[in-house]
Amino acid sequence: MSAPNLDIINEINRLKKQKNAVILVHNYQRPEVQDIADFIGDSLELSQKAVKTEAEVIVFCGVHFMAETAHIVNPGKTVLLPDNESGCPMANMITPEALIARKKELPGAIVVCYVNSSAAVKAETDICCTSANAVRVVQSLPADKEILFVPDQYLGQWVNEKTGRQMYLWPGFCPTHMRILGDDILREKKNHPGAIALVHPECRPDAKAAADEVMSTGGMIRFVHENKAQEFIIGTEIGIIYRLKKENPGKTFIPATDKAVCPNMKKITLEKVLRSLQENRYIITVPEDIRIGALNSVNRMLAIG
Ligand code: SF4
């Protein structure tokens, strides 16, 4: 590790202690940011951690909607997002106004909302889900009800396949996961015949059909720990490969494609984390009426786990 990085890390650790802060980091973040995490995980794991933390300040190294979720469940704490521009293009593919209009067309449908959405959208929905619990969430809903699933059509399509429920899908998608093709998975399986291909449900149907397993990033971490195989093809944002290698030094990880990089997830650097702690920026808050609406939807999800 370079000396400047070491200085920054020492200062981050000093300020963290002084401010009683915790650093939560998503699996897709830069390696050096993953290395300073108090806790690293996927959206569901990070939301659960945000609920339980006793720290007064949460530094959220992820994208905007994740920091919003941390504030929704923790209104009394200061939630900091080190880069205010780290948004999620998928979350921007739905607005509360457009959702309200669609709900009018589908009266009686239960609205299930992937957490990759703004707080204002969550407030208009009945229950949230993550890629880790989406199937469980949908299975928990009354069987005679139709479901409007927002905003990721590909996660929705996969949940639909697993549950057989009557579902309407919002036409949103993740531009990063869209870059992973079925042909990429098939090519890497041919190149590495013993490898197990793990793919995220945000991927297109052809990529999921070519995979051996479909799961969240938290699911991938556990699967690799528990599985005896030595080689894995990874069909998700490639930032997770750093963690997989670090925690499984004897195993080999092959990205399905090098193109699966989320530029928003890479905006946070060590320098920005330090500045965030030094200057208390950027503070993420949600107006109270929206927070309460969104909290109901998030809490219904957290009760399912
Ligand atoms: S990987 Fe996709 S869903 Fe996740 S933050 Fe980036 S654009 Fe959004």
DSSP, collapsed to helix, strand or coil, labels residue 49 as helix
**Which residue among 60, 150, 174, 237 is best mutated to probe the pocket of ligand 1, counting the most ligand atoms within 8 A of its Cβ?**
174
Task: Judge if the beta carbon of residue 70 lies within 6 A of ligand 1.
Answer: no
- Return the closest-CA partner of residue 114 out of 47, 161, 59: 47
H or E stretch at 69: helix 64-73
**pLDDT for residue 3:** 67
Instruction: Select the more confidently predicted residue: 51 or 143.
Output: 143
Percentage, residues of the chain above pLDDT 70: 99
Q: What mean pLDDT value characterizes the chain?
A: 96
Burial-class residue 41 by CB neighbours within 10 Å (0-12, 13-18, 19+): buried
pTM of the model: 0.95
Q: Which atom of ligand 1 is nearest to the CA of 88?
A: 8
**pLDDT for residue 305:** 84
Q: List the residue whose alpha carbon is closest to atom 6 of ligand 1.
A: 262
**Which residue among 116, 216, 267 is best mutated to probe the pocket of ligand 1, counting the most ligand atoms within 8 A of its Cβ?**
116
218 φ/ψ sector (left φ>0, alpha ψ -120 to 50, else beta):
alpha
Task: Judge if the beta carbon of residue 176 lies within 6 A of ligand 1.
Answer: yes
Long-range contacts of 161-170 (CB under 8 A, 24+ apart): 162/135, 163/135, 163/138, 163/139, 165/138, 165/141, 167/138, 168/106, 168/109, 170/93, 170/94, 170/102
Q: List the residue whose alpha carbon is closest to atom 5 of ligand 1.
A: 88
DSSP, collapsed to helix, strand or coil, labels residue 147 as strand
What are the backbone angles phi and psi of residue 72, rounded to the nearest 5°? -55, -40
Order the strands of the 57-61 sheet from edge to edge.
39-41, 21-26, 57-61, 78-80
**Which residue among 264, 266, 268 is best mutated to probe the pocket of ligand 1, counting the most ligand atoms within 8 A of its Cβ?**
264
Cα angle 279-280-283, degrees, rounded to a multiple of 5: 140
Task: Judge if the beta carbon of residue 88 lies within 6 A of ligand 1.
Answer: yes
- Return the closest-CA partner of residue 156 out of 141, 171, 175: 171
**pLDDT for residue 4:** 66
Neighbours of 142 (CB within 10 A): 6
Band the pLDDT of 1: cuts 50, 70, 90: low
Mean pLDDT value of segment 170-175: 98
User: 152 C-alpha to center of ligand 1: Å?
Assistant: 11
User: 88 C-alpha to center of ligand 1: Å?
Assistant: 5
Q: Which two tokens stand for residue 213?
A: 């397993």
Task: Judge if the beta carbon of residue 63 lies within 6 A of ligand 1.
Answer: yes
Band the pLDDT of 2: cuts 50, 70, 90: low
**pLDDT for residue 232:** 98
Q: List the residue whose alpha carbon is closest to atom 8 of ligand 1.
A: 88
Task: Judge if the beta carbon of residue 262 lies within 6 A of ligand 1.
Answer: yes
Is cis: bond before 151, omega within 30 of 0? Answer: yes
The string of pLDDT tens digits covering residues 75-99 is 999 999 999 999 999 999 999 999 9
Q: Which atom of ligand 1 is nearest to the CA of 62?
A: 5
User: 18 C-alpha to center of ligand 1: Å?
Assistant: 32
Mean pLDDT value of segment 238-264: 98
Mean pLDDT value of segment 272-300: 97
3-state secondary structure string, 9-20? HHHHHHHHHHHC
Cα–Cα distance list, 168 to 92, 115, 117, 141, 208 (Å): 19, 17, 17, 15, 20
DSSP, collapsed to helix, strand or coil, labels residue 224 as helix
d(CA 114, CA 134): 8
Torsion of CA 287, 289, 295, 296, to 10 degrees: -170
User: 262 C-alpha to center of ligand 1: Å?
Assistant: 6
Q: List the residue whose alpha carbon is closest to atom 1 of ligand 1.
A: 262
User: 186 C-alpha to center of ligand 1: Å?
Assistant: 24
d(CA 76, CA 53): 12
Cα–Cα distance list, 132 to 94, 275, 305 (Å): 21, 32, 9
